[in-house]
Structures are given as C-alpha cells and as structure tokens.
Amino acid sequence: MPRIDLTIACPVYDSFRVQQVAGLFDVPIAERASQRFRLEIPELGDDWWIGLIVGPSGSGKTTMARELFGPRLYRRTPWPADRAVVDGLGDLPIKEVIALFITVGFSSPPSWIKPYHVLSNGERFRCDLARALAQGDGDAETRSGAEEGGRNETPASGRLSLPASPPLVVFDEFTSVVDRRVARAVSAAVAKGIRSGRIGRRFVAATCHYDVTDWLAPDWVLDMASSTFCWRRLPRPPIHLELFRCRRAAWGMFARHHYMSGSLSPGARCFLAQWDGSPTTFCATVPILGRRGHWRVTRIVTLPDYQGMGMGMAVLEAVAQLHRGEGHRINVTASHPALLAHCRRSPAWRAVGVKRLGARGAPRFHYRGSAGRAVVSFEYLGRGAPSSSSAC
C-alpha cells in the first residue's frame, strides 16, 4: 500500500504585528511554518468511478488532491462577461453542451442564454462543474501548478497509478458555495450522470461538507480529519415526494423557470410536489380540444435547486398515472432534451408524433404552440407497459 509522507512549508515574514500575535497567543515563530501529512492509500486500479476527499478546512484536502492527482485538479478560470454560458464550454457541439448542463442539473434553457455573472450561486456552481467535466483530463487551462499553496519539502512516494482512460476530473471546493439542498441535488445528479455513462469521466470531489457523501455515493472516501482511506459504495438515500392538487397561484413560483412561456391556461388542473415540506415541482394538464377523455401535459417545471435528481420525470409519470386511473388518455409534447430522453427510454411512454416544424398555437385557448421548433409527442401507456411500445 503506497505511503504518502508530505510536508508543506511556507516562509514566515517577521513584522511588528507578527511579533504581537506571537506574544498574545504564545505562537512560536520560526523561519518557516510547516505541516506534515502521512497517509496510506491503496492503488486505486480500474474498478471505480467516483472518489471523495473530505475533511474540515485546513486539513489538507487541496494539498492531497494536488499531490495525488496533479494536473487533473481542475483550476477555475474567469467566464466571459459578454457571452452566454452556453458559449463558455469551448468548441463542444451544442448538443454536448446541453447534455452536460442537464447532467449536472442545470436544466433551465432561459438561464443558458445568460452570462455567468447574473446567475445564482447554485447555477454558477453547476456551470463551473459542467466546464470542468467538459475540459476533462489535462487541459492546459485546468492545470493547477504544484507551486501554489506551498512547496513540497518532503516528496511523497509518488502519485497514484491511474488508467489513461476514461479521463479523470478532480474538483476542489465541491458544493462549498451552495445551499445544502442544492449540494444534495448536484451530488445526486453528477453520480447519476457518471454511473449511467452519460459523463465519460472519473470524478473526484474535494469538500469540507460530509453531508454530500451519501448523495454522491463514492466508491472510495479519503477522510483527512482521521487520515483514513476506505472503499465504500452505498445506494443513494431514497427521495420521497408528496404530490397534491393545488391552485393556479402556485404556478407563480415556477413560471419564470419554464423554457417556453410563463402563461398558464385558466382551465388547467394543477399539481404540486414537495420534498421535506419544500415545493420542488409543478405539473399542469388540460383537456385536448375535440378529444373527449384525452388530456395533455401543458406544464412541467422543477425548481433549479432540485434539478438533476429525476423529480420532474417522477412527477410527470405520477400525474399521468392519476389520469389513467380516471380512465383518461394523456399525452405530453415537448422539445426539452431531458424529457425526450426519458420518454424514449421508458416503456411507459409511446411516441405518437414528430413535428419537425412544430405546430401553430391557439391564443384564444391560451395555447402558444410550437411553430418553428421541432417537438415530439408521447402518449402515456401506464405502468407495466410492454417495452416494445416505447420505440421512438
């Protein structure tokens, strides 16, 4: 088992105030201040996807991440102030950019066309994470020099031997600037994206927050507080949502996050989902004109703090199942990549139409339509539908 023996040192610059601090708090003054880290870490091999380096501030997380993984430690660079974030991920094709945004839980198209500096802290963090995953292994802009944060006086026994493929991304200060609800959502979204194969990366998070451990579900954990390493892989905690019929007024909380329009039909049936007492997802349905007993989903929105955990699709299917239980048919028509991907994969949905140029709206009935925008329509078949019916 490789042994890491690392000493970090920096000079102490003497001054009157330094002497005052030393006198007030009995701080010994030497020419250099140093800290030593000693750990035993096994060779990681190939059989892992997600790692976690965790510990309180000052415990050496960044130092150890840099020592173990070198240039794979992502280094943040400024975002352009005069460009939308969708233009900030280099030369990636637009479909790959959108896929990365969705995978990290940044799923609101209205926010994709805004510059980085006007976004919320949670949205900025997700953008940084998407950019790190996009740049991947060894990009020149992401390399973090070993000279930063101190100098290695006693070299370690060598960096870990890591496979060349798939690329590895090491992300420092993971979830440090976001609300803890957002931290859980992002952790679950990243873990889901990596383990499903949608993100072709290994990922190591360094953080002072232990609460992300269960949601990130890492294959191994390096705890700097106790200087211990352990293999582990536990399932993510379950998410229990409560679904209610609600008044149209609840739409006000969700309207600005919808990717098409903030309007809502006066005749809509509205549903609200809550997690631990907090609203997360809104869904609304309306009857299809001229089709007795046939409904369609007109709005499905999950608040940004909870995107990436699968709540929207869970609520969509729960609402559709309620309509099926009442003897109704129900469709959903959309162009959002996440919804289309879910319906294509799920045997509970059957594609019934593709309109590459969209359809005209009916303003009189508060139906905006999708003219000029390709959309796909799916019909809900119910739980337990044969898988052959899901072909698109």
Does the residue 99 lie in any domain?
A: no
Per-residue pLDDT, 151: 38
Residue pair 4/37 in contact by the 8 Å Cβ criterion: yes
DSSP alpha helix (H) spans, the chain: 16-25, 61-69, 94-103, 109-112, 121-135, 180-195, 213-216, 311-325, 337-345
Residue 275 domain-assigned? yes
pTM for this predicted structure: 0.80
- Does residue 316 belong to any structural domain of this protein? yes
Higher pLDDT, 155 or 52: 52
Is a pLDDT exceeding 50 seen at residue 371? no
What is the structure's pLDDT at 154?
38
Helix 180-195 to helix 121-135 angle, to the nearest 10 degrees?
20
Residue 48 has a pLDDT of 93
pLDDT tens sequence across 317-341: 999 999 999 999 999 999 888 899 9
Structural domain contains residue 267? yes
pLDDT class for 239, splitting at 50, 70, 90?
A: very high
Average confidence score pLDDT of the chain:
85
Which of 189, 381, 379, 193 shows the shortest CA–CA distance to 302? 189
Whether 51 maps to a domain, the answer reads: no
The reply to whether 46 falls in a domain is: no
Mean pLDDT of 365-370: 46
What is the percent of the chain with per-residue pLDDT over 90, rounded to a whole number? 61
Domain-embedded: residue 302: yes
pLDDT tens per residue across span 94-142: 999 999 999 899 998 889 999 999 999 999 999 999 999 998 644 433 3
Please give the tally of structural domains in the chain: 2
pLDDT digits (tens, 9 = 90+) for 189-199: 999 999 988 88
d(CA 365, CA 51): 52
CATH number at 305 reads 3.40.630.30
Q: Is residue 360 part of a domain?
A: yes
Which domain range does residue 15 map to? 1-40
- Asked if the model's pLDDT at residue 155 lies above 90, the reply is no
Of residues 43 and 294, more confidence is placed in 294
pLDDT score recorded for residue 357: 57
| Per-residue confidence band for 156, with pLDDT thresholds at 50, 70 and 90 | very low
